[in-house]
Every structure is written in structure tokens, then in C-alpha cells.
């Protein structure tokens, strides 16, 4: 017989009931579906139904002009020479099939302060462009808006833009799938609570489904309040995006050192990861401001810097970042392919060994490590670098 009778043990365990329920609500695991490798930011006055085709064409032209062969692209973006051909092939295929996976129509820093009538016109044009892009098959699987923040100076304008954008989408029938709203310059959880309430009321009145929300972490106050921000975002929160340059500037870091690999920014993204761990909220890296524009040497420098930042982010477990320029699509997709292909053989081998060891009763890797290996394989499948069938076959064959 056990030392502790059932009724005694039940009484001792009773305080854990509320804890169990709270953890179950919060720790839901990763969001289902494919995570985009980037979010492209386009100022609202430059967004149109042809944005993706234009970005595709500019990226393809840059690839042809500045890295027309696999060896050159691999050398510039840091891929292993042995992977030059598959990386180059992936970039070319992706630029044709899906150059942009996620786009934000930007009414905030990338757009600036405009007259109300001008911004109203750009909102209407953006709505029309979204519907036209969907009709043409050129709307990314994720898209959305970044309106101005809830700071008092721009609050009314930001909410008016959000209202008009959502109303416009609803007025054209059901909004295209994949809509996301980004809330910038968050400084307090109360702002998130109010923003969520505004979204919910707009959805109720417009007959819209629940809209996923992303928060931009670009103030010191936001970093210090991360757990409360995530709590305030609730079930609709899907992402925490670091604002590299606003955050760096707020800390007094000089312009020449502001970058997503600065130790202060990496501390912020690590804290974002820590807060989001075990939830459906993704921690997302920032942008690279050294754009690949100009002559061949300048383009190569921009690609090299951008690819290096992407590779470093992936090593740290940040699988999504911002892109600001069409030609960055080349270095983004090249770096992603290199990261996935470099780790894929070992991931498949270790997963196969893990499966066999479990069957034999001897396990080498921890279950958590096996989940991480499976995540790498799944991202390769999502990127089209490995078929689901081949992945399953490889894992079953030690």
C-alpha cells in the first residue's frame, strides 16, 4: 500500500489545479502551419497589386547581374562551396514561386506623417491593391498593416487608418486569408489591452474573424514588460518583432553600431524568446539597413552583411526577420537555404538513430533534442528543400 492515502494525496495536490489550467492555456506549443522566413515592409504609398512581381523582377535582375553563377552567390552569402548548386537553385525557384512570404503595408515609420486626406487615399488604394493582388495570385500567404502606434501624438490617426483598412477589406467581401495586424512602439501592457479591445470591436461590427496580432518590441519599457505584454495580447498574439533601430537608439547606441547582432539587441531578442517559449508566439529578428544597391561591389557587400545576419539569427533560433529592399530577397533565400541544407543530413541521421534507439529501448538524444531536429527537418520541407515523403523515409531508415 502507498504511504499516502488517495484522499491525503488529493488534498496535497489540490493547489496545483489552477496552475495546471494556467499552464495549459499559455503553453500551447508552436503555432500550426508554416512560419514565414521574413516579413517585407513596404511603405503604404508604394504598395500596389504589382508589388510582389516588381520585387521578384528586381531580385532576379540583381541575381543575373551580380551573381549569375552558383559559386559567386555561395561566396558572397557564406554558403559552403559544396552547397553552391542547391542554394543557387533554391533562390531561383523561390524568386519565381514565392519571393515574398509575408508583407506589411506600412503606415508608420516607413510612411511618415502625412495630411489626413492623403493617408485616407493611401488606405483606400492599399485595400484595392490587396484585392487585386489576390485576384492576380500575387498576394503573399501572409499580409497585413502596420498603422501608427497608440502614442498620444499619432493615436487618432493610427486608429482611423486601422479602421478604414479593415472596413475596406470587409466591404469587399471576406478579407483574403492571412491577414495580420502589427502594433508598433509598444511601451505598456495597457496599450496592448486597449488595442486588442479596439480590434475586437472592429471585428464585431464589421463581421470579421479574429485577426492575429504582432507586437513590435522597440522600446526599453517593452523589453522590461514582455511577460505582461504577451499576457495582454492573449490568444490572438502570434509574434514579437524586435525594432532594431528604434530600440538601439533608445539605449543611446550610436548609429554606426545599431544592428540586430549588437549585444543589446540580442539580449532583447533572447528575452523575447524566453517569454514566448512554449507558446504559439514567434520571436522575430529585425532588419539589415545596409542595402544591396549600387555597383557590383556594393551589392555584394549588402548581400554578405544581410546573409550573415540571417545566418546568425538562425543559429540563435530566430527563423524570421525583416526585409526592406527587393534585392535582399536574394540574400535572404540564399542564407535560409544554406542554413537548412548544412544541418539537414545530420538532423535526418540523428532522428533516424533516435527512432531506432526508442524501438530498441536505448535513447541517445533527449526528446527535446529530437523535437528540435524535427523542427529543422520540417523547415526544410516547408522551404521545398526536402519532400515530406523523403523526410519520412530517411527518418525511418537509420
C-alpha cell recorded at residue 300: 555584394
CA 267 from chain centre, in angstroms, equals: 18
The DSSP string of 50-95 is THHHHHHHHHHHHHHHH--SHHHHHHHHT--GGGHHHHHHHHHHHH
| 361 band by pLDDT with thresholds 50, 70 and 90 | low
**pLDDT at residue number 396:** 73
- For helices 70-77 and 84-97, the axis angle rounded to 10 degrees is 90
**pLDDT at residue number 311:** 98
* Overall CATH class of domain 30-342: alpha beta
Distance between CA atoms of residues 214 and 238, nearest Å: 6
From 96, 277, 172, select the one nearest 164 (Cα to Cα).
172
| 40 band by pLDDT with thresholds 50, 70 and 90 | very high
**pLDDT at residue number 364:** 65
Q: What is the domain partition of the chain in residue ranges? A: 30-342
Write phi, then psi, for 182 (nearest 5 degrees): -110, 130
Q: What is the pLDDT of residues 245-276, one digit of tens each?
A: 999 999 999 999 999 999 999 999 999 999 99
Mean pLDDT of 314-342: 98
Distance between CA atoms of residues 144 and 100, nearest Å: 13
**pLDDT at residue number 356:** 83
Which tops the pLDDT comparison, 29 or 219? 219
| 174 band by pLDDT with thresholds 50, 70 and 90 | confident
**pLDDT at residue number 116:** 97
**pLDDT at residue number 359:** 60
From 336, 214, 220, 332, select the one nearest 276 (Cα to Cα).
214
From 298, 297, 332, select the one nearest 313 (Cα to Cα).
332
Among positive and negative, which fits the CA dihedral 32, 372, 104, 61? negative
Q: Please, what is the average pLDDT of the chain? A: 94
Report whether pLDDT(173) > 80.
Answer: no
Q: SS3 breakdown of the chain: % helix, strand, coil, rounded to 5?
A: 60, 10, 30
Share of the chain above pLDDT 90, in %: 86
Lowest mean pLDDT, pick from 73-77, 100-104, 356-360: 356-360
CB 129 within 8 A of CB 168: no
C-alpha cell recorded at residue 299: 551589392
**pLDDT at residue number 156:** 97
C-alpha cell recorded at residue 121: 487615399
Distance between CA atoms of residues 172 and 191, nearest Å: 30
CA 116 from chain centre, in angstroms, equals: 30
Site of grid cell 552558383: 70
Among positive and negative, which fits the CA dihedral 100, 102, 103, 108? negative
Distance between CA atoms of residues 17 and 150, nearest Å: 37
Mean pLDDT of 282-303: 97
| 134 band by pLDDT with thresholds 50, 70 and 90 | very high
Residue 197 to residues 157, 190, 211, 234, 262, Cα–Cα distance (Å): 17, 11, 12, 11, 35
Amino acid at each position: 500500500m502507498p504511504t499516502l492515502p488517495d484522499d491525503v494525496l488529493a488534498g496535497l495536490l489540490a493547489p496545483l489545479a489552477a496552475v495546471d489550467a494556467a499552464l495549459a492555456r499559455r503553453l500551447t506549443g508552436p503555432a500550426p502551419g508554416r512560419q514565414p522566413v521574413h516579413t517585407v515592409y513596404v511603405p503604404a504609398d508604394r504598395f500596389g497589386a504589382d508589388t510582389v512581381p516588381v520585387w521578384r523582377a528586381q531580385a532576379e535582375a540583381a541575381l543575373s547581374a551580380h551573381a549569375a553563377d552558383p559559386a559567386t552567390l555561395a561566396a558572397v552569402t557564406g554558403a559552403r562551396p559544396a552547397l553552391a548548386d542547391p542554394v543557387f537553385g533554391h533562390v531561383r525557384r523561390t524568386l519565381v514561386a514565392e519571393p515574398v512570404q509575408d508583407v506589411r503595408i506600412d503606415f508608420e515609420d516607413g510612411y511618415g506623417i502625412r495630411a489626413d486626406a492623403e493617408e485616407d487615399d493611401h488606405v483606400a488604394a492599399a485595400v484595392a491593391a490587396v484585392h487585386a493582388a489576390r485576384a492576380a495570385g500575387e498576394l503573399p500567404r501572409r499580409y497585413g498593416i502596420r498603422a501608427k502606434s497608440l502614442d498620444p501624438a499619432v493615436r487618432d490617426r493610427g486608429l482611423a487608418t486601422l479602421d478604414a483598412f479593415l472596413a475596406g477589406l470587409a466591404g469587399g467581401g471576406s478579407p483574403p486569408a492571412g491577414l495580420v495586424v502589427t502594433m508598433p512602439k509598444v511601451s505598456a501592457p495597457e496599450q496592448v489591452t486597449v488595442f486588442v479591445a479596439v480590434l475586437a470591436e472592429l471585428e464585431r461590427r464589421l463581421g470579421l474573424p479574429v485577426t492575429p496580432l504582432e507586437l513590435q518590441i522597440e522600446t526599453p519599457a517593452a523589453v522590461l514588460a514582455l511577460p505582461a505584454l504577451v499576457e495582454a495580447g492573449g490568444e490572438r498574439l502570434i509574434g514579437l518583432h524586435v525594432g532594431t533601430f528604434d530600440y538601439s537608439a533608445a539605449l543611446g547606441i550610436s548609429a554606426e553600431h545599431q544592428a540586430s547582432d549588437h549585444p543589446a539587441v540580442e539580449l532583447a531578442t533572447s528575452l523575447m524568446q524566453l517569454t514566448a517559449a512554449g507558446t504559439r508566439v514567434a520571436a522575430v529578428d529585425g532588419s539589415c539597413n545596409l542595402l544591396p544597391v549600387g555597383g557590383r561591389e556594393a551589392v555584394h557587400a549588402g548581400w554578405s552583411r544581410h546573409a550573415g545576419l540571417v545566418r546568425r539569427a538562425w543559429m540563435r533560433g530566430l527563423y524570421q526577420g525583416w526585409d526592406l529592399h527587393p534585392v535582399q530577397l536574394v540574400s535572404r533565400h540564399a542564407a535560409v537555404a544554406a542554413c537548412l541544407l548544412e544541418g539537414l543530413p545530420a538532423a535526418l541521421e540523428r532522428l533516424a538513430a533516435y527512432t531506432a534507439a526508442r524501438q530498441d529501448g536505448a535513447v541517445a538524444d533527449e526528446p527535446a533534442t529530437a523535437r528540435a531536429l524535427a523542427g529543422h527537418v520540417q523547415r526544410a520541407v516547408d522551404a521545398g528543400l526536402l519532400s515530406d515523403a523523403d523526410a519520412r523515409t530517411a527518418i525511418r531508415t537509420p
